[in-house]
Structure 1
Amino acid sequence: MVEEKFKPAKRVAGQRQDVWSIINEAAAASPKQPIVNMGQGFFGYNPPQFILDAAKSALDRVECNQYSPTKGRPRLKKAIADAYSPYFGRELNPETEVTITTGANEGMLSAFMGFIEPGDEVIVFEPFFDQYLSNIEMPGGIIKYVPMSPPKDGAERTSSAANWSIDWDVLEKSFNEKTKMIVINTPHNPVGKVFSKEELQRIGDLCLKHDVLILSDEVYDRLYYVPFTRMATLSPELAKITITVGSAGKNFYATGWRVGYLIGPPELIKYVAAAHTRICFSSVSPLQEAAAIGFEQADKEGFWDSAVKEMQGKIDRFCQVFDELGVAYSIPEGGYFVLANFSKVKLPDDYPFPGHVANRPRDFKLAWFMIQELGVAAIPPTEFYTDANTHLAEDWMRFAVCKNDNILDDAKERLRGLKKYMVT
């Protein structure tokens, strides 16, 4: 009886070991130390000095060390409204159309908690950011998956991430009377795809037809290398059903700050803000103030343009090793992840993989092997697919290039060790 009483909730019980703990375990066990971590997407360098100075000065102010209003500090909401109004083509109201959250992830949880009832269906594209799933399931949502497929010649030829394609037939059939929301991620993690205006319009038309809300995860919205369209800007009708997700942490190289924000029409934002109030009440005050100053000064500092130029340089610098090895990859259109196809790498038949890796798809074995033999950590993207569709991605690996150049160069040198395992 006691054991039954202390039984964990189904939402957390019985989950298989997640990719992050598997990679960390492999790294700890590897003889190749220190590990070059190209896996998790945190920055290997600090935010720019004007952002750091803003955070330090905020700590000296009494009001910045106390509770912020639950919807966010007025200065930050205004700074975000001012920064995004030019993209939306009108003046955003910081009091009714912007709310601050504890990271973009908590913002998305708040959106799901604000609108999803048990039995409501939410459409999610594969590969997906893994936190979407638990966030949708917490309020009782049911996930409908729509796969994106790599280009048919992705194993042989390097091409743009734009060539990862949506199964439009599956998408259209996923809409029904129970569909409440769809989640879009552009620029996309892990693919690096920036959804085209035509793709977004086609998705938007389906949402308008079926009265479905859109959660547009645009946390990489300052790192794009091709034209970037924001879903909410396509038409007034789509603006009314779209909640846009943003991340000051991603924008300013400060993922540990956990400052996110949501932009949308008042009739949606008020319910998201209400859910956020119940989840964590308010977000970190001094870092909100620092983020506000970041948005206020970014253009004057030339930060946005330099961030794009710097990240594109890192992508080019790192991908040189794949060109050398003859490894095909997807050229990112946005963000800081590169997907490389390792189908030409032959793993030794008798390699001693631990049981919890041996029974996972090939990319998990590749990840473990590279950590043990080369000392390079990358993420297996089948973690972001349902079991039925892991075959689409099991030859691919995800690398985060948001690292210092010396780390990128070290990773490249180690990856050259793959030559002896490659077949032509």
Structure 2
Amino acid sequence: MTTSAAPSTSKATPKPSPVYAKTELDVWTLMNQVAASVGAVNLGQGYMSFPPKEFIKHAAQEALNENTHNQYAPPRGRPGLLGQLATRFTGRFGRPIDANKEVSVHAGANEALLSVFTAFLEHGKDQEVILMEPAFDQYTPNVIMAGGKPVYVPLRVTSDKDPRENVISSDDWKLDLAEFEAAITEKTRIVVLNTPHNPVGKVFSREELTQIGAIAEKHNLLIVADEVYEHLTYGVEHVSIATLPGMWERTVTVGSAGKLFGVTGWRVGWAVGPEKFISATLSAHTRIVFTSNTPLQEGVASAFRQAPEHDFFEVQRSEYETRRNRLMQVFDDIGLPYVVPNGAYYLLVNAAKLKIPRDFEFPDFIVERGENFKLVYFFIKYFGVSGIPPTEFYSEPHKELANDYVRFAFCKTDEGLEEAAVCLQKIKKYLKETSD
């Protein structure tokens, strides 16, 4: 007589997609946790450590007090904000922008980007998106979520100076046009253009944009222009590629109230472009989040209306340039070179001259992320100042281009920057050891 095997006590359980099953912490959470564990000055994540201007806060408070602002907004956006955006971009682009056809409001610029990708990419067809590295780390997952395939082309330093020893300009980071065009295939659909650039601080020149636009036109590509830092440039002109001849017809421009008004938690962004592009983007947006925050849309609309009487954007630019110059001065004094940013609010510091003590121990969760994470971790633990490892903005084949760098954000209080300056003085003795 045979006996049957005992029934298994284990039960099959549903499994998530491999894309989202990874438990690896995102770089922002990881570095914020390390910084908090030692009370480090946080110059890592690009959020403001100072409050918005009073008129901006008051605009949101007034909106919350209005009973009609507490229910769903139209998916395209509240009429007041759409009107303000149409007025702003009519002036910027030198062409009339239709608030009801050529603008859509989103749950932050990131959702606007996802909506554009979703609208223009088809699942199962391996359609490609060109990303210029270093590329903001949300681009890649957004492209993949939309069914696309990221293709990476790095900006390369072209300076005659050695960036490990000398201060260089963000202008020295160049897109190799031949390399860029060689990456385009019959499956390429989109090129993402970030200017002013995070984290380099590069502001693409009119000549560079014209060359990129000509290649996009030749291959019939959509340009997704991420211009969330368009108001923060220092002594150079920000040019929207959509303003160049023939480029409006193939460009969607994305922006952010979080960056524009210093309210990253409000999560209000927008997309601007030809009606057929915005209509498709709006359709995707409606399926992703349906609509965006009603009272804060009204708050942003009010902030736009009031900004001119406060000279807001001029004052803000001056304040940020002062912060930028202060942080550059800190590293001048220490003796570490950096990339002078012409835009945005990040400073890439080249720490190749820094010698980490041989007996310094790194936890496994840092070691497994590579040399650049070890460098940033050392800054946090030894010097008490947090940054972000820019290798996180690169694909695997190009990570080595960023191994020597640390990204610091200067959208911080004067007190925070001064505290960082004191902490970073400790670097000097480790540079002397390097030169021995």
Bin of the TM-score, shorter chain as denominator length: over 0.9
Q: Is the 8 A contact 1:36 1:411 kept in 2?
A: yes
Q: Residue 114 of structure 1 corresponds to which residue in structure 2?
A: 119
Alignment map for 1:4-403 (pairs within 5 Å): 5-14=13-22, 16-30=24-38, 34-118=39-123, 119-151=126-158, 153-225=162-234, 226-235=236-245, 237-403=246-412
Is the 1:11–1:138 Cα contact (8 Å) retained in structure 2?
no
For residues 255 and 45 of structure 2, what CA distance do their matches in structure 1 show? Answer: 19
Structure 1 residue 4 displacement after superposition: 5.7
Q: Is the 8 A contact 1:120 1:180 kept in 2?
A: yes
CA offsets, 1:327-348, max 9 Å, x none?
1111111110000100110011
Distance 1:334 1:74 in 2: 31
Q: CA deviation at 1:38?
A: 0.2
| Stretches of structure 1 lacking an aligned partner (at least 5 in a row) | none
Percent identical pairs in the alignment equals: 44
For 1:319 and 1:86, locate their aligned partners in 2 and report how far apart those are by CA, in whole Å.
34
SS in 1 for 2:18: coil
The aligned length equals 420
Q: C-alpha offsets along residues 293-312 of structure 1, whole Å, 9 cap, x if unaligned? A: 11112122100100110000
Counterpart CA distance in 1 for 2:219 and 2:11 is 45
Amino acid aligned to 1:22: L
1:372 maps to amino acid: K
Q: Distance in 2 between matches of 1:361 and 1:355?
A: 10
> Shift of the alpha carbon at 1:21?
3.1
**Matches of 2:295 and 2:387, distance apart in 1:** 33
Contact 1:186 1:217 in 2 (8 A): yes
Alpha-carbon distance in 2 for matches of 1:284, 1:3: 42
Instruction: Tell me the CA shift for residue 15 of structure 1.
Output: 6.2
Separation of aligned partners in 2, 1:399 and 1:312? 15
Contact 2:32 2:44 in 1 (8 A): no
Match of 2:21, SS state, is coil
For 2:25 and 2:261, locate their aligned partners in 1 and report how far apart those are by CA, in whole Å.
Answer: 31
Q: Say whether the 8 Å CA contact 2:60–2:296 is kept in structure 1.
A: yes
Partners of 1:403 and 1:243 lie apart in 2 by: 30
Give the Cα–Cα distance (whole angstroms) in 1 for the partners of residues 354 and 12 of structure 2: 48
For 2:106 and 2:365, the matched residues in 1 are separated by 36
**TM-fit CA distance, 1:45:** 1.1
TM-score (norm: length of structure 1): 0.96
Question: Are residues 353 and 151 of structure 1, via their aligned partners in 2, closer, same or farther at CA, if it must alter by over 3 Å?
Answer: farther
Q: Which runs of 5+ in 2 are unaligned?
A: 1-7
Structure 1 residues 95, 4: CA separation in 2 closer, same or farther (over 3 Å shift)?
farther
Q: Which amino acid aligns with 1:95?
A: N
Residue-by-residue CA offset, 1:152-206 (whole Å, 9 max, x unaligned): 5211111211111213222111112111101010000000000111111111111
Alignment match, 2:3: none
Q: Do the aligned partners of 1:107 and 1:260 also contact (CA within 8 Å) in 2?
A: yes
Task: Quote how far apart the aligned CAs of 1:246 are.
Answer: 0.4
Compute the displacement of 1:151 (Å): 4.5
Report deviation, 1:321. Answer: 1.2
The CA distance in 1 between the partners of 2:135 and 2:208, in whole Å, is 17
Asked if the contact 1:222–1:251 (Cα under 8 Å) also holds between the matched residues in 2, the reply is yes
Q: Which amino acid aligns with 1:6?
A: P
CA distance in 1, matches of 2:214, 2:11: 51
Alpha-carbon distance in 2 for matches of 1:15, 1:203 = 38
Matched position secondary structure for 2:20: coil
Q: Distance in 2 between matches of 1:3 and 1:185?
A: 48
